[in-house]
Chain A
């Protein structure tokens, strides 16, 4: 790979500038500190969520993603910084006036109102506040009917929230949010209150909804699978900061540090510390890797990462080539339907490999050798955990 190829590759951490720079959500220098804490709950230097994207903020609990979401909604104000929605500075705009709607984690439906009254609540208020808004009873009814139709709520309009199932309540929460035609739609852990069965369908419905509406959606979740499957733009956060932002493929394929690398993907990426005997060789107990080209400037030890799905079992006498060869003894085999995960143990620790279920299942106690192509290896600094970019250039990383 030439250096020009390198320039093509989007470096993680910076996003493509939006084609129309005035759409989407932009955080500038936004920080949030809660009274009595000396740590910042949110610390964003510059975060841009592209207009029209389905952006997912993902990270472990306490990473600041919900705080960021609530700052966009206006329900929280930042300690510092500026916030732009479609180019307009909205820091001083009250929550109801920003063109933002939110679906809460437990939906927060008004328990004393019917479904249709819940949905039309905001519109009816708007009609009263603003005579010129063009919202009369007929128009409100039109919009409510349309939204109910597209979310399959037509039959439930006269019910009360207490009489609805979890999935139905979620749709009412969504309906209430989209009936006001928001510029930005916010979703706070929208799937966590649903049964596992429903989640799959709900994910698909949300993605379909985004395609239909075309506005900017920002969604917060701690579930990395949800995040990757729904997002057009993925933002990984931890400890109040953004670690990496980009398309799910970019972030998955080129995680910027070991946290992002192990957070996304299940089973998580295997990591071991290995020595660097030569500029194109890595070696550790039961691990041996050869890079296609020598990489200058590698420290004496690196953290080597590879994904369980990128490894394939090979015969012990397989031809030597570039890439990683790892040896281990199978400890446990997990059957997950279409695939099996073999958890192995070796002198350099535990690692996992994914094999198709209809192949030869590795047996417990069997000694296994796997190969990972050089292009699928990730090298990280052993101290900071940051990705060693140089290695990507050297190995035609894809």
Chain B
């Protein structure tokens, strides 16, 4: 009932989307299948593992000690997420609620400008400072310097806090609440899902961090999963079986989070992008 082109366009659309999905996810699908294959069939074209085996995963966990790396990554990601939220939330709150404080526009500039600096430009001094503080090879050095990325969290949280109806704040003020009370009772309570979204975003981004852990924790036992994987892959003839199994394990936690909360995560990324 529509123009003939409309039906053709519908087919074209599906084709486009299917091709995109296949091209973008094919390597991962292959990696997933291959991770379950024994060495003999490793390079077979067929991605489906027949017979399937868990020996790669076993190797990954025992020989490469992927479990340890995953744990380190978890600690780092959790640490960065928590510290960043602790630091960013009061700042975002100040930006919204203390409208008449002197120097507020300076605060906004400080945060905004920090976002505009290309991260690569800072890496050397950050590394130097970390090692001078004796934090190299130390989890503290892994976590604390990443507070430099808190600017994004501040702006995201500021947007969310702005969405709290001013009348609620006004009502609390009339009841004699102090700013601290308002932060704890009103804002935190209302913004739980938003805080969750920002936290998830921070966690995922930190989990995927490659360069900083590589610099701060160069030893293959103590480092996190991204550089760890890269280190295992470095030699001339990588053992793809256990390597890909390790790669799958590296993606697993985030994948699980995604399955549980894909809408929330997508919204969090949308929010950060539209900044």
Contact = CB atoms under 8 A, between A and B. Distances in A.
Query: Within the complex, are A and B direct neighbours (CB within 8 Å)?
Result: yes
Interface of A: 74, 77, 91-97
Contacts of B3: 94, 96-97
B256 interface: no
A94 B4 CA distance: 9
Contacts of B2: 94-95
7 contacts: A77-B1, A91-B1, A92-B1, A93-B1, A94-B1, A94-B3, A94-B6
Contacts of A77: 1
A13 B3 CA distance: 36
Nearest to B5: A94
Nearest to B4: A94
Nearest to A96: B3
A281 B224 CA distance: 95
Contacts, number: 12
Interface of B: 1-3, 6
Nearest to A76: B1
B8 to A, nearest CB: 13
Contacts of A92: 1
Interface centre among A77, A92, A94 (most CB of B within 10 A): A94
A75 to B, nearest CB: 10
Given A94-B3, A96-B3, 9 more contacts: A74-B1, A77-B1, A92-B1, A93-B1, A94-B1, A94-B2, A94-B6, A95-B2, A97-B3
Contacts of A96: 3
Contacts of A74: 1
B1 to A, nearest CB: 5
A39 B6 CA distance: 29
A353 B268 CA distance: 59
Nearest to A95: B2
A276 to B, nearest CB: 53
A365 to B, nearest CB: 41
A96 B3 CA distance: 8
Nearest to B1: A77
A95 B1 CA distance: 8
A94 B3 CA distance: 5
Contacts of A94: 1-3, 6
A96 B5 CA distance: 13
A91 B2 CA distance: 10
A92 B3 CA distance: 10
Contacts of A95: 2
Nearest to A92: B1
A88 to B, nearest CB: 15
A77 B2 CA distance: 10
A94 B6 CA distance: 10
Nearest to B3: A94
A128 to B, nearest CB: 14
Contacts of A97: 3
Nearest to B2: A94
Nearest to A94: B3
3 closest pairs, A vs B, by CB? A94-B3, A94-B2, A77-B1
A178 B59 CA distance: 74
A198 B230 CA distance: 69
Contacts of A91: 1
B172 to A, nearest CB: 38
Contacts of B1: 74, 77, 91-94
A94 B9 CA distance: 15
Nearest to B6: A94
Nearest to A77: B1
A224 B258 CA distance: 51
Contacts of B6: 94
A312 to B, nearest CB: 51
A96 B1 CA distance: 11
B143 to A, nearest CB: 47
A339 B157 CA distance: 57
Nearest to A93: B1
A334 B38 CA distance: 89
A70 to B, nearest CB: 13
A189 B2 CA distance: 25
Nearest to A74: B1
Among the interface residues B1, B3, B6, which one has the most CB atoms of the partner chain A within 10 A?
A: B1
A74 B2 CA distance: 8
B4 to A, nearest CB: 8
Nearest to A78: B1
B246 to A, nearest CB: 46
A91 B1 CA distance: 7
B10 to A, nearest CB: 14
Of B2, B3, B6, which is in contact with the most chain A CB atoms at under 10 Å from its CB? B2
A166 to B, nearest CB: 28
A91 B6 CA distance: 16
A118 to B, nearest CB: 22
B6 to A, nearest CB: 7
A77 B6 CA distance: 15
A71 to B, nearest CB: 11
A284 B115 CA distance: 79
A9 to B, nearest CB: 41
B2 to A, nearest CB: 5
A222 to B, nearest CB: 28
A93 B1 CA distance: 6
A97 B5 CA distance: 14
Nearest to A97: B3
A17 B98 CA distance: 72
A30 to B, nearest CB: 14
Nearest to A90: B1
